[in-house]
Structure 1
Amino acid sequence: MKLIENFYCIQSVNFESDVEGISSIKTELIRPSIKILDVEYSEKKIYSKRLVSKLSTASDEYFTLDELLFLSKTYGFEIEENVYSKGDYHSVLKIHKLYDIPGDITLIELDGNEYLMIGFRRWQFDFQPRGAGEDMLGEDITYIFGIWECPLLTDEIVAKIKNER
């Protein structure tokens, strides 16, 4: 497992102009499109899952608490219990009050190589007048927590990330 600290990124700013360049992990980016440096690929598959555990749901849709604890310990993010639903846990990022939804874990397959990215999303401002088209895209700021090459994952976790639900 190797941490990738720098990557090429195109940030989409207000549908008008893109900002391109080298970015690094532990950075907030505006609607980023990320390309891993020095990796040429022709085939790319992306799978993503919210970093949550639900006690009441025994399915492949959510991680178990043990799986979420394993991911938290391995990749260094925090988790906490849901205040509204005891027994349910989710990932948290406490660097800004607007990070109020769990993070996402993304498995990227590039020509036989695997990469793992963990990111958290938020709105840019407390009160942000937005158009319906922009709201449809979701949160505009993404904090790239980390990107790893050859990630350490169990088969069960990989299966859950790849689950389409």
Structure 2
Amino acid sequence: MRTKEEMQDVTLLGNQGTKYEFSYNPGILEAFDNRHPGRDYFVKFNCPEFTSLCPITGQPDFATLYISYIPDRRMVESKALKLYLFSFRNHGDFHEDCMNIIMNDLIRLMEPRYIEVWGKFTPRGGISIDPYCNWGQPGTKYERMVEYRLMNHDLYPETIDNR
């Protein structure tokens, strides 16, 4: 069990007075110490209710996000991540920009060994857009992993039915 000292940076988890931000706010993100920094392992978040706005039309865009990372010393707290993603609800940006902004904010927060963010947006106008971005710590095997994962991330695309 984690001690209160270990979780001092986590203020949202268990807080009954949750405030939902309706405008993009990276300050919501919180992190805690990785108790297994000597081991490589993936943490994956499946976020099926992401919403942002088209910056031109103001129409809502809906997506499932997949955030996978190999932690180093810090890990993102899941409730804070949920509230952070909710803060995109009224944020107007293109799909590709949203995915890169999310990845950059998580890199700043955690400094992970490796991270990838993949958005699978529902179609608008008959086209779905699925931006994928990734990053690895420079000068490490994780930097080499970026190229491999980028070139191989969608070798077996799903059958699109009615997403």
Under a length normalisation based on structure 2, what TM-score does the superposition of the two structures give?
0.23
Greater RCO between the two (CA within 8 Å, min separation 6)?
Answer: 1
Instruction: Considering fraction of residues, name the structure with more helix.
Output: 2
Instruction: Considering fraction of residues, name the structure with more strand.
Output: 1
